[in-house]
Amino acid sequence: MSGRLVFLLRVAIGVVALSAGGAALAQTAGGTTQAMKGCERLLAEGKVQEGYPCLRDVLKTIATGSDDARTLQEYRTWAEAFLQARQPRLAAALYEDALASRAASGKPLADLGRLHFAYSYYVLSRGPDKERAITHARAGLDILEKTLGPGAYDTVAARDNLAVLLSDSGAIAPGLNLAESNFDIALKSLGEDEPLTWRVSNNFAEALRSIGRPEAAVPIDQVLLAKRVKHYGEGSIQALVSASNLALSYLEMGDKAQAMRYFRLQGRFGAKLADPTSEHEAQAKAWYTYTDIFFSPDPQLKPDMLEALMGLKDWRSAPDLMRVKASELAAKEYERQGKVRQGLALRQAAYEISAASFSARSPITFDALLGLARAHVRNQEPEKALATFRDLDRQLYDWTLREVGTAGNRFIAETTRVLADNFLYEFGRFALEEPSARPAFADAAGRWKALESGQRARLRQMADTLPDDVKPLAQEVIRLLGRQQEVLSERRTAAERRDDEALVQDVQKKSGELSARLASLKVPEPPPLDAAIAGALGPKDALVNFVLITRRQGTRSSDAAIEDQRLLAVVRRHDQPPQLLDLGSFPDIVARLKVGQEGTDTAKEMYAALFGKLSGALGGGERLFIVPDAELYGIPFAALRDGEGRFLDQLYEVRLLTREDALPTAVRRDRLAPGGKAVLAGGLDFSSGKQKGPRALPATGREVAEVGKVLAGAGYATSVLTGAAGTEQALHQAIPGASVVHLATHGFFEPPHDGLSALWRGGIVLARAGDDKPPKANDRDGYLYAEELMGWDLSAADLVVLSACETAVGDRSAVSAIRGLPTALAIAGARRSLLTLWPVADAGAANFMIAFYRHAAEPGATFSSALRQTRLDAIAGKVPQADDPEVWASFVMYEG
Report d(CA 172, CA 400) in Å as an integer. Answer: 10
**Is the pLDDT higher at 438 or at 299?**
438
Question: Would you state the pLDDT for residue 284?
Answer: 87
Where residue 31 falls among pLDDT bands split at 50, 70, 90? very low
pTM of the model: 0.83
Highest mean pLDDT among 284-288, 385-389, 442-446, 554-558: 385-389
Q: Which residues pair with 183 in a beta bridge?
A: none
Statement: residue 773 has pLDDT above 80:
no
Tens digits of residue pLDDT in 848-860: 999 999 999 999 9
| Mean pLDDT on 820-826 | 91
**Is the pLDDT higher at 6 or at 716?**
716
Statement: residue 14 has pLDDT above 60:
no
- Positive or negative, the CA dihedral 229, 234, 239, 242 is positive
Cβ atoms of residues 824 and 787 within 8 Å: yes
Question: Would you state the pLDDT for residue 83?
Answer: 87
Tens digits of residue pLDDT in 143-186: 999 999 999 999 999 999 999 998 888 788 888 889 999 999 99
**Residue 670: which of 721, 602, 623, 608 has the closest Cα?**
623
| Mean pLDDT on 761-770 | 91
What dihedral angle (degrees, nearest 10) is formed by the CA atoms of 867, 872, 877, 879? -10
How far from chain centre, in Å, is Cα 139? 26
Type of residue found at 245: N
Tens digits of residue pLDDT in 480-497: 888 887 776 665 555 566
Tens digits of residue pLDDT in 209-221: 888 889 999 999 9
| Mean pLDDT on 460-478 | 88
When mean pLDDT is compared across 254-258, 598-602, 805-809, the lowest value belongs to: 598-602
Task: Show Cβ contacts of residue 138 under 8 Å, excluding neighbours closer than 6 positions.
Answer: 162
Highest mean pLDDT among 103-117, 288-302, 446-460: 103-117
Q: Report how far apart the first and last C-alpha atoms of the chain are (Å, whole number).
A: 71
Question: Would you state the pLDDT for residue 282?
Answer: 85
Where residue 499 falls among pLDDT bands split at 50, 70, 90? low
Tens digits of residue pLDDT in 604-642: 889 999 999 999 999 999 999 999 998 898 889 999 999
